[in-house]
Amino acid sequence: MNLVDLTAHEAGDLLRRREISAIDLVNAVLDQIEQREPTIRAYITRTPDDARRQAAEIDRRFASGEELPPLAGIPIALKDNLCTAGIRTTCASRILENFVPPYDATVVRKLRESGAIILGKTNMDEFAMGSSTEFSAFYPTANPWNPAMVPGGSSGGSAAAVAAGEALAALGSDTGGSIRTPASFCGVVGLKPTYGRVSRYGLVAFGSSLDQIGPLTRDVTDAALLLAAIAGHDPNDSTTLDWPVPDYREALRPDVKGLRIGVPREYFVEGMDPLVAQAVRQAILKIGSLGASVDETSLPNTRYALAAYYIVAPAEASANLARYDGVKYGLRVPGADVWEMFDRTREVGFGPEVKRRIMVGTFTLSAGYHEAYYLRAQKVRTLIKQDFDRAFQEFDVLAVPTTPTPAFPIGARIEDPVAMYLTDVFTVTVNAAGIPGLVVPCALVHGLPVGLQLLGPAGSEETLLRVGYAFEQSGDWRTTHLP
């Protein structure tokens, strides 16, 4: 048995039966990291000594007969925009290269309380601005299926770590597809929860009305376990929903009878890889064969979503990143006066994509342009949400592609921002509307994974996990196709 190939719930069962130890599991994953990191480069910061100490403590607690939560002893990776007390949090940016937070993000605290073992911090597009993990200030991450390809972004390091056996599960963040695109490209499961379902306290902000933290895992069961561990109201985040947290694993059953699946025609567009479209349609037909009804529907304002997103998100980024001025924390480059210090610090500290988005956002918020651009984009966002609201009166779940293509070669789009932004054409609507989205692997196209994206109304994670689980159990994706 190769321990690095286990899912989190499989490993958890073995730990409880005392058939493996947490230290053996952690050491196996750390060995895998040593072997694969020279090629994959999924991590920015690794904490092997801390991981071994945590594992030893979990083994002691198991030996004492203590009943521990489902994630106890499971090695997990964290995207490097989640604050971790005593462990640097860089956001893959030079401006925070040596920043060590004094506190844990709420999701990190909850994972620690659940007994999960933190392996380190994963690579990402700088400040989560990108779709390929090529915009890291340190190095790009490679796709474990083919190291010449991108892993998707911005949570590419987390997805690649899970796919490569360098973690049994991971957390990412999703502002416009940053969990779901890497999940699709790397052949893992990715869940972007309802906005407010998971606390953002301690998540370094990109777009505050769009950001959400979620799991990247090997299967749907693990996604349910991680969501249950991190979800819930948080007094430190006023946007969190005061809803009870169900046992998401109870929703998992290979039965979709009676569910209504909608297929929006706007998500199958000219220019997408026809093999991707075919694979997704076949996956939807498979769900229909399991007992769900499947019908076409329309979300007419989808065509405006990408343009609206790339006004709203950069505007919020411009406001959020104004705090990086060299005064309070992070990089400081001295100047003749405070204004020159601001300029020099930001010039050296921010990478090209971050600067591009700050400039776009600052322009759209500036006097004379706010109403023409930002306010209009927010109105489009309302129309997109209304489209979803109407669709969910008729359907329980919408099934769509995740990306127009499989993973593309490293370097292929980095000089073409528009081509890079088009990667997000099927994912940004979800963040604009604040609804949840689940990606499950459904096929190989050109030898690379493709993900089916399932969307539901706010708070419908249980239904999405049920459909994703039924689809997953109907095939042999994991046993046949792990790289």
Active centre residues (catalytic): 79, 154, 178
What are residue 295's DSSP bridge partners? 262
Distances (CA, A) of 272 to 251, 299, 399, 411, 471: 33, 18, 16, 20, 23
Give the integer Cα–Cα distance in Å for 157 and 164. Answer: 10
Chain centroid to CA 291: how far? 30
Q: Where are the alpha helices (DSSP H) in 322-406?
A: 338-349, 352-365, 376-394
Q: Which residues of 432-460 are buried (b: 16+ CB within 10 A; e: fewer)?
A: bbbbbbbbbbbbbbeebbbbbbbbbbbbb
Q: Which residues of 150-189 are buried (b: 16+ CB within 10 A; e: fewer)?
A: bbbbbbbbbbbbbbbbbbbbbbbbbbbbbbbbbbbbbbbb
What are residue 46's DSSP bridge partners? 120
The sheet with strand 213-217 has its strands ordered as: 43-46, 117-122, 75-79, 169-173, 213-217, 189-192, 437-445, 448-455, 397-401, 260-264, 293-297
Structure tokens at 49: 């000594």
Beta strands in 85-222 (DSSP E): 117-122, 169-173, 189-192, 213-217
Helix (H) or strand (E) holding 443: strand 437-445
Q: Compute the 3-state secondary structure of the chain and give helix, strand, coil in percent, each to the nearest 5.
A: 45, 15, 40
Torsion sign across C-alpha atoms 272, 274, 276, 277: positive
Contact between 45 and 121 under an 8 Å Cβ cutoff? The reply is yes
Helix (H) or strand (E) holding 263: strand 260-264
